[in-house]
């Protein structure tokens, strides 16, 4: 095939390959020195029966509870887990997985290449930290992954006498309490955070009612649901740490208070603003700040607000508040788009996580944005109530006495992990040499020209029988590409936030002969794409990136879908001069100039590729700055509350 022959001569080295040798791996010496000790204990354990292994595990638990250092117990504990894995789930930890486990145990983030077995690696630090009996939590991105990983690893834990629980959405309090009472608990950061807030509210209520210990003793069995469900914040291992600790860092978890009398009036304001916002013209009635993405009415705009007819319900509402409602409605119309930032499921607005392409069930935008979108889409407007309790994802994880993480993409955010969470990032060597080829970037003048080139590459590689995975930024673009593929007669599957229930199934099939899969960002992350020997001989999975994301980490997640565990694979990045990355990174003026150049040009414009990487780095720096500002304000808010004798999680900042 001509395209592949040409590319085989021009592909560049994979900048994401970390195929370090065990001996020369940077910063790994102290971990490598533990491997012979683990192997010696493993040889001893191979001769023991299952019952003897469990008894030995109970002995380790007694030693941990008696105060013996967990670091001293590490070689025995890791050897036990390795042997239990071999016997129960037919998986024996590789040496590199033992190193990954030691990195996590030592309060750092292990950067492990995609496909290196993070789910199995997690059992090592989870077991070791569970020994003292204080509970060990594993936080991941959704209920499906939490339940799946817990079920797969349960036989291993149970063989060693460890109980395992899973916390899921819609779970009753008594079931949650049992899950948290287990030695090891899997769940999502969202559920861990909300349970912390609910417990805190409950404890305050008990104190205010004067129940205390006496009330607990007097309560009946059926009233046990009115007790806290969590124990403490001893150890948490964060799966997909970059997604949870960085992409979701600014997400506040909020429990709302009971709505007040102004509910109907607020709903009427949102609906009125959504209906009238189209009458306001940029630069005449309002000014739009492209950097801050903020809207401010001009004098003409405020006069228009006064003139526009209003329903009687709005009579008590002040003009300043009406200005805010209109500005919010204009912002929502400009910046929040259906099928990109949100979808509508069963009459509800559901946020699409821009980092993963998954639906962020249960999350809402703050500051009235969510209600403004509901009014815009003409569905029921939910009440923007006050806050009974709140905590950010960032603040929640800082509470843990011991914290570790794992992900395939952390090195580009090393400074942020160190600054905010006091976590180092250590790259873990791969078990086999990475064979992924990064083909040269392709830049085109317009989006249409880019799509034509993508379809051409898909057609050529598809004819050779190789599987193809295509990543898009939004649901809208994934469905647009799907229509283009249909027009070409190319069979394919689409994986986006609309198909979250079957995402693992779709991803697992993506490595079949001639399969073409279109995915938003990296929906389906956490599921292996397995290849047959026939596919490996053809060159493995080919990944097409259709646009740069706001963060290089997200691009790396997509790149990491091929070349797993030493498999062959290839990647191509496509870009066009009218991509959102340039507009967000450089602002509208320069982006418009570049787009005009693209309109007049023809063919490839590959010499512009470096502009896209620079724009991406500018966006990353801005987002990092925003998260640092959030951390500062959260610290100041908590300090102010404590000085006033208030609870920083329960008392409103007002």
Q: Which residues are annotated as a binding site for ATP?
A: 97, 115-119, 528
Whole-angstrom distance, CA of residue 19 vs CA of residue 646: 51
- The secondary structure element, H or E, covering residue 350 is strand 348-352
Q: Which residues pair with 542 in a beta bridge?
A: 468, 570
Which residues define the annotated binding site? 97, 115-119, 528
Place of tokens 């189209």: 278
What's the half-sphere exposure (Cβ side, CA atoms, 13 Å) at 251? 23
Q: How far separated are the first and last CA of the chain, in Å rounded? A: 66
E-only strand ranges, 81-213: 108-111, 136-140, 164-166, 184-188
3-state secondary structure 496-520: CHHHHHHHHHHHHHCCCCCCEEEEE
- In 3-state terms, what secondary structure has residue 106? coil
Give the whole-angstrom CA distance, residue 648 versus residue 197: 11
DSSP conformation letters of 202-233: HHHHHHHTT-HHHHHHH--GGGGGGS------
CA dihedral of residues 494, 500, 505, 510 (deg, nearest 10): 30
DSSP 370: H
Q: What is the CA radius of gyration of the chain?
A: 27
- Give CA angle at 124 (118, 130), nearest 5°: 125
Structure tokens at 632: 């500062």
- Please list, in sequence order, all residues whose beta carbon lies within 8 angstroms of the beta carbon of residue 149, skipping any fewer than 6 positions away: 119, 122, 138, 140, 186, 239
Q: What torsion do the CA atoms of 256, 257, 258, 259 make, to the nearest 10 degrees?
A: -70
3-state secondary structure of 568: strand
SS3 424: strand
| Cross-strand partners of 138 | 186, 237
Q: What is the 3-state secondary structure (H, E, C) of 288-311?
A: EECCCCEEEECHHHHHHHHHCCCC
Is there a contact between 420 and 625 (Cβ–Cβ < 8 Å)? no
How many CB atoms within 10 Å of residue 450?
Answer: 22
Could you tell me whether strands 348-352 and 359-360 are parallel, antiparallel, or unpaired per DSSP bridges? antiparallel
* Beta carbons of 604 and 445 less than 8 angstroms apart: no
CA gap 165, 157 in Å, rounded: 11
The CA–CA distances, whole Å, from 526 to 118, 169, 355, 404, 508 equal 9, 20, 14, 18, 10
């Amino acid at each position: 095939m001509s395209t592949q022959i040409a590319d085989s001569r021009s592909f560049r080295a994979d900048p994401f390959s970390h195929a370090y040798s065990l001996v020369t791996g940077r910063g790994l010496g102290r971990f490598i020195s533990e491997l012979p000790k683990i192997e010696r204990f493993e040889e001893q354990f191979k001769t023991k029966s299952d019952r003897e292994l469990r008894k030995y595990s109970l002995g380790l638990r007694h030693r941990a509870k008696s105060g013996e250092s967990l670091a001293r117990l590490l070689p025995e504990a890791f050897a036990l887990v390795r042997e239990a894995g071999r016997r129960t789930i037919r998986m024996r930890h590789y040496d590199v997985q033992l190193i990954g486990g030691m990195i996590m145990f030592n309060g750092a983030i292990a950067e492990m290449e995609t496909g290196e077995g993070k789910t199995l690696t997690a059992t090592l630090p989870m077991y070791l930290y569970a020994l003292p009996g204080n509970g060990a939590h594993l936080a991941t991105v959704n209920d499906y992954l939490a339940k799946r990983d817990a079920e797969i690893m349960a036989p291993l834990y149970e063989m060693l006498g460890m109980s395992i629980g899973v916390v899921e959405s819609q779970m009753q309090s008594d079931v949650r309490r049992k899950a948290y009472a287990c030695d090891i608990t899997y769940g999502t950061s969202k559920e861990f955070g909300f349970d912390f807030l609910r417990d805190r509210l409950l404890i305050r209520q008990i104190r205010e009612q004067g129940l205390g210990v006496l009330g607990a003793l007097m309560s009946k069995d059926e009233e046990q649901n009115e007790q806290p469900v969590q124990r403490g914040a001893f150890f948490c291992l964060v799966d997909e740490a970059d997604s949870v600790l960085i992409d979701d860092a600014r997400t506040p978890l909020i429990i709302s208070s009971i709505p007040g009398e102004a509910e109907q009036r607020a709903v009427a304001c949102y609906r009125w603003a959504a209906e009238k916002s189209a009458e306001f013209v940029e630069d005449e009635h309002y000014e739009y700040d492209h950097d801050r993405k903020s809207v401010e009415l001009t004098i003409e705009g405020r006069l228009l607000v006064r003139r526009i007819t209003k329903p009687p319900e709005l009579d008590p509402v002040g003009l300043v508040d009406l200005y805010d409602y209109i500005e919010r409605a204009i912002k929502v119309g400009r910046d929040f788009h259906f099928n990109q930032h949100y979808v509508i499921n069963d009459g509800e607005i559901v946020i699409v996580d821009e980092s993963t392409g998954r639906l962020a069930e249960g999350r809402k935008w703050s500051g009235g944005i969510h209600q403004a979108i509901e009014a815009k889409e003409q569905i029921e407007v939910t009440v923007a109530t006050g806050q009974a309790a709140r905590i950010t994802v960032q603040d929640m994880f800082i509470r843990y006495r011991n914290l570790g993480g794992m992900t395939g993409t952390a090195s580009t955010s090393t400074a942020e992990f160190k600054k905010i969470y006091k976590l180092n990032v250590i790259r873990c060597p791969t078990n086999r040499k990475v064979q992924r080829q990064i083909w040269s970037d392709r830049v085109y003048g317009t989006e249409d020209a880019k799509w034509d080139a993508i379809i051409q590459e898909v057609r050529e590689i598809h004819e050779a029988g190789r599987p193809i995975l295509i990543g898009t930024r939004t649901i809208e673009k994934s469905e647009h590409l799907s229509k283009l593929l249909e027009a070409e007669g190319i069979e394919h599957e689409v994986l986006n936030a609309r198909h979250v229930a079957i995402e693992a199934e779709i991803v697992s099939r993506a490595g079949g002969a001639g399969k073409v899969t279109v995915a938003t960002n990296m929906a389906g992350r956490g599921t292996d794409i397995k290849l047959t020997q026939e596919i490996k001989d053809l060159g493995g999975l080919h990944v097409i990136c259709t646009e740069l994301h706001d963060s290089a980490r997200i691009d790396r997640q997509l790149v990491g879908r091929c070349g797993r565990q030493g498999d062959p694979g290839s990647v191509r990045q496509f870009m066009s001069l009218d991509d959102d990355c340039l507009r967000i990174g450089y602002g509208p003026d320069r982006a418009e100039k570049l787009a005009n150049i693209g309109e007049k040009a023809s063919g490839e414009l590959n010499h512009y590729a470096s502009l896209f990487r620079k724009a991406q780095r500018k966006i990353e720096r801005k987002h990092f700055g925003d998260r640092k500002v959030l951390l500062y304000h959260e610290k100041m808010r908590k300090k102010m509350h404590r000085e006033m004798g208030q609870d920083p999680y329960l008392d409103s900042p007002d």
